[in-house]
Structure 1
């Protein structure tokens, strides 16, 4: 039974196809502005390009497959709902907890990047203070109402796309392929087997290009016509993002010495500075408009984590307190605030989160990616399971080239998970510890879930 029945809290159906596309692009587009360039540090430009193409193929096949689940089971819990239906409560817990980790840890990384961009314009500003301000502003925007949030997200996404195109256009006259290829194989000019470990180590940062596009699934319950609009939003979104990711990576790397961009939070302004100088009006425009891309993802992921917290609480996996809907705005305001508290704590937990010699941002990104990859694996397994166990389920959109697309996505995700554990073992243990702690809570709330299930029948 749908959790919306029997008086359970329900969300308002208000989102159009275009707004869903805006959410799909907006959720991810900050990944084109920062985060990905950390992959150059280990893989080089050419090595990272190979990694990014593999990840782009994995995401494309994943989205085409994931859309089948989203349109068949339109639910605010997204992956949690699909895995629960396929594998029962434990499957639901694993997918829900992994998605929650992905969506709660991504915003602090983006907020720190917003702070870094503002610091370029105003060096006296504390990036962390800016990050805190961003949380307060956009949590408020998400509480005010879904139409306000979705319309703002659409506008931010459009401006962010425009700005990436401006960046490529301004950098193009100074672009040099020689700059991009110099030392492009993990510091070497020619490929050797020694470059392969660095390419695997760069996987989390290639994933950052596309991380969170699956968050559209969490808006499915609020879509006017999810079975029609979500496939359009997903397919249009992933194609838009693949094109932008490849373009931004190529033009930034060809602007000058790419090694200067490989461990910073604002690679695009710094790449443009190599071409037009630090006093150019183009640079200042990029910093200001570039904030739209970061804000689009930040705003969109707050939307996503709040729906995940809300859905888990509504089903009894989290305290029912977080399933409360605001009586005036019809939004899950307590869920919005809960995720914000965790994110703000992460921003101010430098010594705790600086693990393995990586920066605070790099470790937050890695933690978010661990959650995402785990969820991708469970979701593809759920797709295969539901094809067998519920062959008569209404599927408004079927994964093309089944079983090859979902199988490629599944195998790609497994490769990503294995390499990430190998290269980020301490962070993997932290991630596993979070899942284990959550599982203890899951076991202690079994009685409440049973009561809720009985009341919905």
Structure 2
């Protein structure tokens, strides 16, 4: 009798990633937000609004990062937010957050590829934007098809160059005296042009500084030592982003007037051009290009892992869960990122694409801390051992509740400028929630067999009642 079993079915993901790979995945996805997009906070709320948005979003992402570190180290799964919601919340939440992660990163990939193509066209005018966008998406998909180690090693190299470019610019302007700063005058002129309502409206762009850092934990299943690599790489990434976000806001707002900074497409590069220093102009131009490539590369990695996790549990077609027998990558899920990213890119509306990414991300920022709250409730200290909770974040679950409130507040600010995007996004994920909820009934889970954990606390409570 012919064996119709998929030959790739028993092949697992490779387990070789180190903390620097986790850092490269998280920071590589996010660093593009330091090069562009964050400056729209200035258009809405001025320099003060940008500072408030950066700080409040920073607090939110620190908490999300802590939640993701604890959950990722515990579950050690490639599914990330999907897996956490599946284990600790329910099938409806799992399906919708898994889809949200996928859409968040796919939309960001498309936006990154469009920007790379536009930059290429600005250097070589004969290049057409859309074919170049397709080339970028196709090339980076091939890199991820060939395996996660190569993809994230590449991400580490190009992300580090873009990261160091910001450091060099900062010290050139503060200690080196190479760049002339005009902080006091520019800050006073552009502090709060839209009044108090502008400060509130600016919050919608705060996530650009850090959007996607939670994705670092999605590499857990492919880490050699996930209980160490995920928390270390995730927290190092978050600290790195906090530092460069503060540096970026400081020197860009000290070189460019708020009226110019708020509408700039490439604020880092334009600040370098305003400085008149050729070395910095070239450096920030290279940094802008590399950070877009790193972000697109990392988003393919994370979105494919989310789709792979959904496929493993039949939320989408099981066919997508195959792992390449040689490259050990979820190659079908990787390839499937291409048509979706191209569809987003074909629209050509960069701000609309990124706004949908932000809406999808904010949904995750509600469900990730809620999954942590449920995890702590199901496995409190009295029954949780080192295997259940190899990393324990501070002040939980109180800060998780706080982050949910902050995420909802930031979500409401999209009313100013992106009301229909917000309405469509909420409707889309509400439909997804009920679809997955009714398609996948919650089944009793054998915690010892699947996770190697003791039974959660409610099992003991039910046994005592009986």
TM interval, short-chain normalised: 0.7 to 0.9
Displacement, 1:444?
7.6
Q: Aligned equivalents of 1:299 and 1:122: distance in 2?
A: 23
CA contact (8 A) 1:164 1:248 kept: yes
1:184 corresponds in structure 2 to 190
Residue 377 (structure 1) aligned to one of 366, 370, 386: 366
Displacement, 1:285?
3.3
Aligned length: 430
Equivalences for 1:121-132 in 2 at 5 Å? Answer: 121-132=123-134
1:27 corresponds in structure 2 to 29
Deviates more, 1:18-27 or 1:220-229: 18-27
2:255 alignment partner, SS class: coil
Displacement, 1:256?
2.6
CA contact (8 A) 2:53 2:202 kept: yes
Unaligned runs of 5+ in 2: 1-8, 451-466
Q: 1:126 to 1:237 in 2, by over 3 A?
A: same
Q: Aligned equivalents of 2:439 and 2:232: distance in 1?
A: 38
Q: Aligned equivalents of 2:171 and 2:134: distance in 1?
A: 33
Q: Aligned equivalents of 1:132 and 1:36: distance in 2?
A: 26
CA contact (8 A) 1:71 1:226 kept: yes
2:257 corresponds in structure 1 to 257
Residue 38 (structure 1) aligned to one of 37, 40, 49: 40
Deviates more, 1:426-435 or 1:194-203: 194-203
Q: Aligned equivalents of 2:186 and 2:172: distance in 1?
A: 17
Q: 1:150 to 1:73 in 2, by over 3 A?
A: same
Displacement, 1:59?
1.0
Equivalences for 1:206-285 in 2 at 5 Å? Answer: 206-276=206-276, 280-285=278-283
CA contact (8 A) 1:121 1:287 kept: no
Q: Aligned equivalents of 1:334 and 1:430: distance in 2?
A: 29
Displacement, 1:117?
2.8
1:309 corresponds in structure 2 to 307
1:50 corresponds in structure 2 to 52
Q: Aligned equivalents of 1:125 and 1:215: distance in 2?
A: 33
Equivalences for 1:29-428 in 2 at 5 Å? Answer: 29-172=31-174, 173-178=179-184, 180-187=186-193, 195-276=195-276, 280-350=278-348, 360-391=349-380, 392-393=383-384, 394-421=388-415, 424-428=418-422
Deviates more, 1:122-131 or 1:20-29: 122-131
Question: What is the TM-score with the length of structure 2 in the denominator?
Answer: 0.86
Q: Aligned equivalents of 1:325 and 1:292: distance in 2?
A: 29
Instruction: Note the alpha carbon deviations across 1:343-391, whole angstroms, 9 max, x for none.
Output: 11111213xxxxxxxxx22222211111111111111111111211222
2:455 corresponds in structure 1 to none
Q: Aligned equivalents of 1:118 and 1:169: distance in 2?
A: 28
1:288 alignment partner, SS class: helix
Q: Aligned equivalents of 2:130 and 2:224: distance in 1?
A: 38
Question: What is the TM-score with the length of structure 1 in the denominator?
Answer: 0.87
Deviates more, 1:37-46 or 1:172-181: 172-181
CA contact (8 A) 1:9 1:314 kept: no
Query: Aligned-residue CA RMSD in angstroms?
Result: 2.4
Displacement, 1:290?
2.9
CA contact (8 A) 1:9 1:323 kept: no
Unaligned runs of 5+ in 1: 1-6, 188-193, 351-359
CA contact (8 A) 2:323 2:331 kept: yes
1:357 corresponds in structure 2 to none
2:324 alignment partner, SS class: coil
2:4 corresponds in structure 1 to none
